Chain A
C-alpha cells in the first residue's frame, strides 16, 4: 500500500455530496467532508462499488484511452470474456473481436482459452496441496486486497497461480513479436476491463515486477464505439475458431468452479457475502471445501462496475455462449500439465498480508484508543445516519479517536452533550 495508486478518484466539481458512495463502500473507505466525498486511500480495495453507486458519475476509474496507446507500434485488445455478454444475444465473440479491430486496435485476441488452461493448473495444484483448506481464488483483485487487508491470516490460502489475462497476454506478446518481427516493447497488449480492480492488477501485478499487459480500457468506454462498429458490419455474426467453451464461463459466478475436477467448491459473489464467508474460514469452518471461488461483484465479472448491461442478462448471455460453444476441453490436458510442471502458471513469492492500519502501531496505545472509541460509540446514537460524513457511528468514533473528526460533527448529539463528553476524562484522551 502507500505508494500504490488507487484505481478510483473523486471528481470534486461533479460531486454533490449525496452520500450514496458512503453507504456503498464495503470497507468504510469514504468520508464526506464539506459536502464532497473523499477516499481514505489505505482503506480502499478498488472494488468499484462507489463508481456504481454515484448518481452524478463523480467517481471515476483511472482507465486509459486510445491516446495513451500511441506509444506502441502495434496494439492488441485482450477483452475480459465479460465483454461477450454485453451485446445482443446473436452477436458472437468473433464479431466482437473483429469490431475491436475496427475501432482502433490492430488486433484483438480471445482469452477464454487461458481460463480453461488455468483451471487445469488449479486442478494440479489442488492435487498436490497439503495446507489448510479451502483454497481461495486469487483472480478478483478486489477479493485479494480484501483478504490481505481484513483476513491477513488467510493470505497463504490464495492459490498461487497467475490469472488468465496474464497468461494470455504473455502468449499474445511472444507470438506477435515473433510473427511481426517487432520488439516486445513495441507491442501493446491492452486489457478491456470490467472493473477498476483489474486496472490496479495491470499497474501493480500481485507478486510480480511487471505485468504482460500494458494498459486497461473500460468496457463502458468502448461500448458506444463497439455498438457503432457492430452496426456497420454487414455480417455481424462472426464465428471465430479461437473462442472456446470451457473458459467462457469464467466471468459468471460459479464458472471457475465448474471447470474444476473437484466438486468440493463454493462460489460466492458480492463483497459483503465474500467477507461473511471469509469470516467463517477464519473461524476454522468450511475446511471440507477445496476451492472457494470469490468475486467482488454479485454475478461475477460479467456484472463488473465498468460493464453496461444488466448483470442478470449479461450472465444469461454468457451461459448461452457456453452451451453454444460446448463444454468440451479445447486443449490437450497433458500438455497443460506439462507446462504446469515447468512452472508456466506459477506466481512467485507470496501474497503479503497488508492489514488495514490499526488504531496505533503501539499495542498499549492502540488498546487505550480502542477503549476511548468504545466510550464514544456508547455516547453516540448508533443510527448510522451519515450526517457527520462517516458511514457508521463506529467509523465516526474511530475518526474522532484518530483526530480526523470532532465529536461536534455528530448531528444528533446535541452541542451540550458533545461538550459534556469533551469535559470527561475521555475527552482529555481525545485531545492528546
Chain B
C-alpha cells in the first residue's frame, strides 16, 4: 500500500485572549495556501477554523486546534477545556447563543458559530461534556 502523506500541526488557543484570537485560523489558511488547496476550499476551511477558534476564545479556558491535511481531506480537530454545551441540538440552531452581554457587545456570539462550521464542512461531529469541555471534528473533502 502506498504511504499516505499527512501534514499535522497543532495550535494552542487561549480563552478570552482577544489580542491573539484568529491567529490559529490565519496560520491554518496560510498553510493550506502553501500546499496549493483550491481557493474555494481554503475559504470554507478558513471560515470553519475561524469559528471553531472563536468558540474556544469565547467560551473556554483553553484549547487546541489541530490541522491535518492529507491528499483526500482537510481535518480540523478542536478540543477545549471549558463549560461544555448542555444541549448540542439547541446550540446547532442558527441564532442560538449563550454568549454573555459582554461578548455580544464586542460583536461576537451571534449564535452562528456552530451552524457556520457545519455549513462549511462535509462532515462535522461534536461531543461535549458539561463542566469539562467540547471536542469538534471537522472534515472537508478535497
Do B35 and A358 touch (CB < 8 A)?
Answer: yes
Do B5 and A367 touch (CB < 8 A)?
Answer: yes
- Closest Cβ of chain B to A289, distance in Å, is 13
Do B34 and A153 touch (CB < 8 A)?
Answer: no
Q: Which residues of A have CB within 8 Å of B5?
A: 364, 367-368, 371
Given known A279-B26, A284-B50, contact A367–B35 (CB-CB < 8 A): yes
Total number of A-B contacts with CB less than 8 angstroms?
Answer: 70
- Closest Cβ of chain A to B95, distance in Å, is 16
Interface size on A, residues (CB 8 A): 26
Q: Which residues of A have CB within 8 Å of B39?
A: 152-153, 353, 355
Q: Which residues of A have CB within 8 Å of B36?
A: 355, 358-361, 363, 366
Question: Cβ of A283 < 8 Å from any Cβ of B?
Answer: yes
- Closest Cβ of chain B to A200, distance in Å, is 22
Chain A, 328-371, CB within 8 A of any chain B CB: 353, 355-356, 358-361, 363-364, 366-368, 370-371
- A367 contacts which of B6, B29, B40, B116 (Cβ < 8 Å)? B6
- When C-beta atoms are compared, the residue in chain B nearest to A362 turns out to be B36
A353 to B36, CA, bound (A): 13
Q: Which residues of A have CB within 8 Å of B31?
A: 370
Question: Cβ of B115 < 8 Å from any Cβ of A?
Answer: no
- When C-beta atoms are compared, the residue in chain A nearest to B37 turns out to be A363
- Closest Cβ of chain B to A248, distance in Å, is 35
- Closest Cβ of chain A to B82, distance in Å, is 22
**Which stretch (B41-49, B85-93, B125-133) binds chain A?**
B41-49
Given known A153-B39, A153-B42, contact A374–B7 (CB-CB < 8 A): yes
Do A279 and B35 touch (CB < 8 A)?
Answer: no
Do A282 and B7 touch (CB < 8 A)?
Answer: no
Interface range, B side: 20 to 34
Q: Which residues of B have CB within 8 Å of A280?
A: 22
Chain A, 275-294, CB within 8 A of any chain B CB: 279-280, 282-285
Question: Cβ of A422 < 8 Å from any Cβ of B?
Answer: no
Question: Cβ of A170 < 8 Å from any Cβ of B?
Answer: no
A398 to B34, CA, bound (A): 10
Given known A153-B40, A284-B116, contact A374–B71 (CB-CB < 8 A): no
Q: Which residues of B have CB within 8 Å of A284?
A: 46-47, 50-51, 116
Do A283 and B34 touch (CB < 8 A)?
Answer: no
Q: Which residues of B have CB within 8 Å of A153?
A: 39-40, 42-43
A53 to B31, CA, bound (A): 29
B interface SS class:
helix
Q: Which residues of B have CB within 8 Å of A364?
A: 4-5, 71
A355 to B42, CA, bound (A): 12
Do B46 and A283 touch (CB < 8 A)?
Answer: yes
A368 to B34, CA, bound (A): 12
Given known A359-B36, A370-B31, contact A283–B7 (CB-CB < 8 A): no
Given known A284-B50, A367-B71, contact A279–B34 (CB-CB < 8 A): no
Chain B, 1-49, CB within 8 A of any chain A CB: 4-9, 22, 25-26, 29, 31, 33-37, 39-40, 42-43, 46-47
The CB with the most chain B CB atoms within 10 A, among A282, A283, A359, is that of A283
Do B33 and A363 touch (CB < 8 A)?
Answer: no
Question: Cβ of B69 < 8 Å from any Cβ of A?
Answer: yes
- B35 contacts which of A282, A353, A366 (Cβ < 8 Å)? A366
Question: Cβ of B142 < 8 Å from any Cβ of A?
Answer: yes
A366 to B7, CA, bound (A): 10
Q: Which residues of B have CB within 8 Å of A368?
A: 5
Q: Which residues of A have CB within 8 Å of B35?
A: 358-359, 363, 366-367, 370
Q: Which residues of A have CB within 8 Å of B8?
A: 371
Question: Cβ of B98 < 8 Å from any Cβ of A?
Answer: no
- A371 contacts which of B7, B37, B116 (Cβ < 8 Å)? B7
Do B34 and A370 touch (CB < 8 A)?
Answer: yes
Question: Cβ of A272 < 8 Å from any Cβ of B?
Answer: no
Q: Which residues of A have CB within 8 Å of B100?
A: none
Chain A, 358-406, CB within 8 A of any chain B CB: 358-361, 363-364, 366-368, 370-371, 373-374, 398
Q: Which residues of A have CB within 8 Å of B9?
A: 374
Question: Cβ of A36 < 8 Å from any Cβ of B?
Answer: no
The CB with the most chain A CB atoms within 10 A, among B43, B51, B142, is that of B43
B interface residues with partner A (beta carbon < 8 Å): 4-9, 22, 25-26, 29, 31, 33-37, 39-40, 42-43, 46-47, 50-51, 69-71, 116, 142
A interface residues with partner B (beta carbon < 8 Å): 150, 152-153, 279-280, 282-285, 353, 355-356, 358-361, 363-364, 366-368, 370-371, 373-374, 398
* 23 intermolecular pairs with C-beta atoms under 8 Å apart: A279-B22, A279-B26, A279-B29, A282-B43, A283-B50, A284-B116, A355-B39, A356-B33, A358-B33, A360-B36, A363-B35, A363-B36, A363-B71, A366-B34, A366-B35, A368-B5, A370-B7, A370-B35, A370-B69, A371-B7, A371-B8, A374-B9, A398-B34
- A-B residue pairs, 9 tightest by C-beta: A358-B36, A152-B39, A153-B43, A283-B50, A153-B39, A366-B35, A284-B47, A364-B71, A368-B5
- Apart from A153-B43, A284-B46, A363-B142, what are 16 other A-B pairs with CB-CB below 8 Å? A152-B39, A279-B26, A282-B43, A283-B47, A284-B50, A284-B116, A355-B33, A358-B33, A358-B34, A364-B4, A364-B5, A364-B71, A367-B7, A370-B31, A370-B35, A373-B34
